[in-house]
Structure 1
C-alpha cells in the first residue's frame, strides 16, 4: 500500500511539474465556430492511427496517451505527435507504436451513453518532449468545470456534419454546459451523466473524427488541463441544437488513471522470482 501511494505521488508531481504550458500560444482571441489551430499550440494533441487516422488523443506522460474507449477497434495502433498537416511530412513529427491498450473495465461498446468511454495507451517508448511535443495537465479528482467556462476542442474531425475531414489541426471554442442544463429532458436527458462534461452546442461542436481528443480548459494557474475526452455527438448531426458535444469527464477517472499507471509500472519493474 505504501508503494502504491508513493507511485501515485511521483507520477502526479512529475506531470504537474511540466505540463499545460505550450511554447506556441494558441490563438484563442477570435475562435467561435472553429478554425485552423496555430501549429504546435496544442502540443499534447496526438493523432491515433491504425491503417489510417482514426481518432485523437492526449499525451499525459511521455509514454502515456489518454483517448476514448470507443476508438479502440483494431489490434495495432501508433500515435503521431507534433502533427499539424496530415498531407505533409513537416519534420517534427514523432511516430510511436502503442505497446498496450487499457480500456476502462466498465466500458460497454454497445452503449456509449452509459459512460466510461476512456482508455489509456502505453507507448513502446517515451516521446521526446520539446517545444512541439509537451504534456497536458490532468485535473484533480472530481474537480469541477463551471457553466460557460471557455474550453477548446481540438482535432482533425469533419469540418461539419457530412463535410470533409480536416487535413490541418482545428480548434473551436466550446463553452461548458452545466450538468443541470445538459441533463434536462429536452437536452441530453438521462444520457448526460455526472461522469461526463457537455460543451458547445448548435454551431459549436466536435464532429466525427475528433473522438478521443481533448477538451482543453485553462486553469486558474494559467496551465491547460484536459478536462474531457471527446465521446459522442447527436446522431442527427454534429451541430444539433440542445445537443452539445459530450466528453468523458477526466476528473471523475483520476483514481482509475492512477491505479492503471501504478499497476502497470509496478508489474513491469517487479523482480522475477
Structure 2
C-alpha cells in the first residue's frame, strides 16, 4: 500500500498529502502556463490511466506526479511533457457520447518513472472482477470539470477525497436513475452529499478490498448529471477498469 496510508475518517474533504501516491494531474498549456484539467492514475512506470474525454487534439499536455497542492511547489513533484503520439484513446470511444462507454485512455510517459514515497503505482483489479458492497471506495481529485466546459464546477488547490457508496448495476439502470445510459462496462457510485463533486474526470475510484485492505483502482471518473454531481438518483458514473484489463494489457504490450 501507499507509504502514507489514506485517512479514511475524512469522508469528504482534503486528503492527507501524498496518501494517494498514484494520483496524477493532467494539465494543458494555455497562454504559457499549465492548467489542471483531469485526474489520472499511474499504473506502470511508463503509463498513466485516465479518461478518453479529457483530450482535445489541439492541446498540449503534461502530467504531474507526486502532486498535492496545485498552487505550491513542494519539491517532490515530477512534471512530464506528453508527446501527442503517446496518447492512446480507446478505439471504440466516441467523442461527445459518454453513454456508449469506453471512456478510457492511456498515456505513455517518455521517461521511466522513479518511484518515491510520494509517487507510487496503482494496483488494478483482475479482469472481470466485480465490486461488492463490502468494498470501501473513495473518489479523489482536485475538482470536477465537465466535459466541454472549461470552468470547473468545484475546484480545490489541494487534493480532495470523498467516500462514495457503490451502487449495483440494477439500481443504477432503473428508469428514474441512469436508465439505458449505464452499460455493464461502467460502475455507479455516489452519496447524499455534495462530495462527489470533488472528483475529477479521469481520476480514480479507489476501493479497498475487504480481506487484505489493498487499494485497487476500480473506476475512472467518466460522467455525472448535467444538473450537478449531487443530483438525486444520478450517482457518478465510472469506466469499470476490470472490463478493460485486456485493452490496457494490449496497449502496453504493443507500445
TM over 0.5: yes
Residue 241 (structure 1) aligns with: 232
Q: Is the 8 Å Cα contact of residues 27 and 37 (structure 1) preserved in structure 2?
A: yes
Cα distance change of structure 1 residues 83 and 197 upon mapping to structure 2, 3 Å threshold: same
Q: Larger Cα Rg: Structure 1 or Structure 2?
A: 1
Q: Is the 8 Å Cα contact of residues 202 and 242 (structure 1) preserved in structure 2?
A: no
Which structure 2 segments of 5+ residues have no match? 30-34, 146-150
How many Å separate the matches in 1 of 2:249 and 2:199? Answer: 27
Residue 26 (structure 1) aligns with: 6
Tell me which protein shows more helix as a share of its residues. 1
Residue 77 (structure 1) aligns with: 61
Provide the secondary structure at the position in 1 that maps to 2:250.
helix
Matches within 5 A, 1:204-243: 205-207=195-197, 210-219=200-209, 220-243=211-234
TM-score normalised by structure 1 residue count: 0.84
* 1:259 matches 2:250: yes
Provide the secondary structure at the position in 2 that maps to 1:251.
helix
Q: Is the 8 Å Cα contact of residues 39 and 141 (structure 2) preserved in structure 1?
A: yes
Displacement over 4 Å in runs of 4+: 161-164
How many Å separate the matches in 2 of 1:98 and 1:233? Answer: 27
* 1:109 matches 2:92: no
* From 35, 41, 57, the counterpart of 2:19: 41
Deviation per CA, 1:104-151, whole angstroms, max 9, x where unpaired? 000001211110000000011122101110011011001000136320
* 1:94 matches 2:78: yes
Residue 56 (structure 1) aligns with: 39
Provide the secondary structure at the position in 1 that maps to 2:111.
coil
Which structure 1 segments of 5+ residues have no match? 1-20, 265-273
TM-score normalised by structure 2 residue count: 0.90
Q: Is the 8 Å Cα contact of residues 140 and 198 (structure 2) preserved in structure 1?
A: no
How many Å separate the matches in 1 of 2:214 and 2:198? Answer: 27
Tell me which protein shows more strand as a share of its residues. 2
Cα distance change of structure 1 residues 205 and 182 upon mapping to structure 2, 3 Å threshold: farther
Aligned residues: 241
Provide the secondary structure at the position in 1 that maps to 2:115.
coil
Residue 17 (structure 1) aligns with: none
Report the more deviating stretch, 104-113 or 74-83: 74-83
**How far 1:209 sits from its partner (Å)?**
6.7
Residue 199 (structure 1) aligns with: 189
Report the more deviating stretch, 208-217 or 193-202: 208-217
* 1:134 matches 2:120: yes
Deviation per CA, 1:158-206, whole angstroms, max 9, x where unpaired? 59x9754111000000111010111111111111111000001331553
